[in-house]
Amino acid sequence: MKISDATSLAKIFDQTDTLVTVVLSGNLIDDDLLRMLMTGLIKNNSITHLDVSHNKITNHGARLLSKLLGENSVITTLNLSDNQIHSEGGRYFARGLRENDSLLHLNLRLNRLTDEGCNLLLEGLRDNVSLVNLNVGSNGAGSQSVQTLLAILRDPEHNLKTLDVSGNDLTSDHFEQMRLCMANNKTLTSLDIRSNPGYADARRAVEEIEKIVHSNEYQFKSL
């Protein structure tokens, strides 16, 4: 994407009240280009689906995008997978999530949040009960993140239905803790925990977790 393209799109975003879905995946968008796009996005009240995956967005861009998640947000789907967002970006999105009640789907797969950034993000999610789909796969999530995630899964007020934590640093002990935590969970209907270091060594715990998730899915479809 060129500077002129970003400028033109920003004007369109500012003026339209009918555009709902924006997909800008794989356009080499960096923080400077995103800043130009944001001049229009921040004024728009119709766009609900924003896909800026497979770009070059870093923490600075995450800070800009988090402003779209304020209390008057209309964004329901935000896809930021495969960018260059580090731990501080998790803090920015956590702030947005605490104020937000519109976002349903958040994809941050294949970034560089680390365990610290994932934990910060999940801490923000503890105050958000509207999000139903979260993908933080391949971000280096570990012990800190797991403990906060378990608190969310225990909380009956949360409505998280789809969760992807594949490709992280979860151990067999983490899966055992998750098994115990999931015993009373009635909302999670899809869970991807593959490609973690402890996955192969925790087959019994993994099988129990999968049974619970499948049971929830069956109950949900029966409603």
Tokens at 198, concatenated = 């402890």
165-175 b/e (C-beta count within 10 Å ≥ 16 → b) = bbbbbbbbebb
Determine how many CB atoms are found less than 10 A away from the CB of residue 36.
Answer: 19
pLDDT tens digits, one per residue of 7-20: 999 999 999 999 99
Contact between 64 and 38 (Cβ < 8 Å): yes
* Strand pairing class (77-79; 190-192): unpaired
Distance between start and end Cα atoms, the chain: 46
CA–CA dist 117, 92 (Å, integer): 10
CA–CA dist 104, 218 (Å, integer): 21
Q: Which pLDDT does position 70 carry in this prediction?
A: 86
For the chain, residues with pLDDT lower than 50 are none
Q: Which pLDDT does position 219 carry in this prediction?
A: 75
SS (H, E, C) the chain: CCHHHHHHHHHHHHHCCCCCEEECCCCCCCHHHHHHHHHHHCCCCCCCEEECCCCCCCHHHHHHHHHHHCCCCCCCEEECCCCCCCHHHHHHHHHHHHHCCCCCEEECCCCCCHHHHHHHHHHHHCCCCCCCEEECCCCCCCHHHHHHHHHHHHCCCCCCCEEECCCCCCCHHHHHHHHHHHCCCCCCCEEECCCCCCCHHHHHHHHHHHHHHHHHHHHHHHC
Task: Quote the radius of gyration of the chain (alpha carbons, Å).
Answer: 18
CA–CA dist 167, 69 (Å, integer): 27
Contact between 44 and 16 (Cβ < 8 Å): yes
Q: Which pLDDT does position 71 carry in this prediction?
A: 83
Q: Which pLDDT does position 222 carry in this prediction?
A: 63
Please give the model's pTM, rounded to 2 decimal places: 0.96
Determine how many CB atoms are found less than 10 A away from the CB of residue 127.
Answer: 11
